[in-house]
Structure 1
Amino acid sequence: MPLLSTADLMGEAQHTQHAVAAFNVITLEHAEGIALGAERTGMPAILQISENAVKYHGSPYAIAAASAAVARNSSARISLHLDHITDPSLAYLAPELSVSSVMYDGAALPYEENVRRTREVVEWGHQRGIWIEAELGEIGGKDGAHAPGVRTDPDEARQFVQATGVAALAVAVGSSHAMTSKTASLDHDLIRRLNSSLEIPLVLHGSSGVSDDELRLAAQEGMVKINIGTSLNLAFTAAARRYLNDNPLGTDPRKYLRASRDAVSEVAAHTLMTLATARCPIPGGPHAVTRQA
């Protein structure tokens, strides 16, 4: 199937009132497993490549090309996204990478500098049809900027969105990156307040640490894009470890990578079905108009 745009998937999600899952890709097996999970469930998915993954590969070109090829050869509806990009020059490669959306991360910058740089990326994206997500204040677990209890302020979020023109905003509501257990306690009242204050989709980062019930409720309260990364890696590594423990003389990487790919597929399918049972409200209330890059 041809690559879809993230803007189209997000627009579809808002129309049907269902959240979209965005899964982090590190290896080819991640991309294949996510696509298989999406095919099994009939749900759309976003394949996202982080700046850290780009650094691991040394360049965005191979992993982006592989992810695009997986998407185009899948029957699932899939888009490509660049995640947590702090270097604008990497964001600006999106069109040639077949990437339709970018999460520009200026959260570590002083507020005014974050606004200025985010607005520049948004203006660039508007000119090229690239959908831009941003973050206001770092999500917990990234350099400690959001310690437990720190939350996004709805008034500041509204000012940031108006000043930058972003198409979506990642907010701090109690989740953290790199959580290995589903123990995050989300601030559901804040999610509802943010949803009623903003006319753009809300994004939940650090969703691997959120239980199914909490995730479903967050989607019902207004989280439209749900990011999943660590839970894929936990499943990937556990499957490889089990195979190698059971087959200590095994040397064929296809054997344990197949197990890892299957494990990723299971997590992706489970997440997609969890979100399929939750209906989320229109951002900003029933009469809101969502801006797209």
Structure 2
Amino acid sequence: MGRVSTLTTEKEVLLSLRDLEITFGKFVAVQDVNFDIYKGETFSLVGESGSGKTTIGRAVLGINPTSNGTITFEGQQINGGLKGKAKHELERKIQMIFQDPTASLNERATVDYIISEGLYNYGLFENEEDRINKVRTMLEEVGLLPEQLYRYPHEFSGGQRQRIGIARALIMKPDLVVADEPISALDVSIRAQVLNLLKKFQRESQLTYLFIAHDLSVVRFISDRIAVIRSGRIVELAETEELFRHPIHPYTQSLLSAVPVPDPQIARHIKPIVYDPTQHHYETDKPKFVELLPGHFVYCNAPEEAAYRKQLAAEGKTQA
């Protein structure tokens, strides 16, 4: 990943991935993935379907085994066989909000049981009254009513179901939440409500999010930093506004050119950039993750790095 950026050396690293590789049989789904997530931030992993972003999220949760590299959480390596009490405690500290609010909730369980399941598993309540109070409070915090506690998932809309999923994750008081496309299955009118809800909990509880998405316009609203992933490799990583203002990698430029613009007068003058992977020649000059601007990393080889730096110099940007 190169040297640590001077922009981030004072922040506390909560999750660190180094040289991560994930394989399924002979197929390499993810390789050479390196990034840190800092406590209290929203770090977004953005890419097209099949790029490997969900695979990485599931590896952090211990669902997908890794074939190489390390995943370190709160200073402890968590991939490669945590067992017993350590694994049990880790599962409480890292929670997940799933993409599909229809498939992720048990249709035969009441909302009360769905939200309480983690409390039961970890003994996170003093008595029955305390448990009910915790669940009612959490239900109200996600914008649902206490009288809905004993209803079943099929009685709720998609947005309401996702709020139940959020409540189920956050009642565990996790340190890290992996949010896997949490709004992609929702109506556009509901998406902003759910994103605002996630930001509210982050402000109040210093939550840290690994936010997985395919829509750059969505992650711009919620993210502190963004990593763009393609074919199992991260090609660019930067702070959110920096990435939107100065995309360097051609693939990132292509994704940004496809973001819809609400003003039709402006939109008609925007030409989409078509990414051509054959423009990279990595047969002899192998690529690596290079910090070109402070905190701004790009996957490139030596000739590409020289060209990028020349362009940055022409634009008067202070390079790392």
Higher Rg: 2
Give the structure with the larger helix fraction.
Answer: 1
Give the structure with the larger strand fraction.
Answer: 2
TM-score with structure 1 setting the length: 0.36
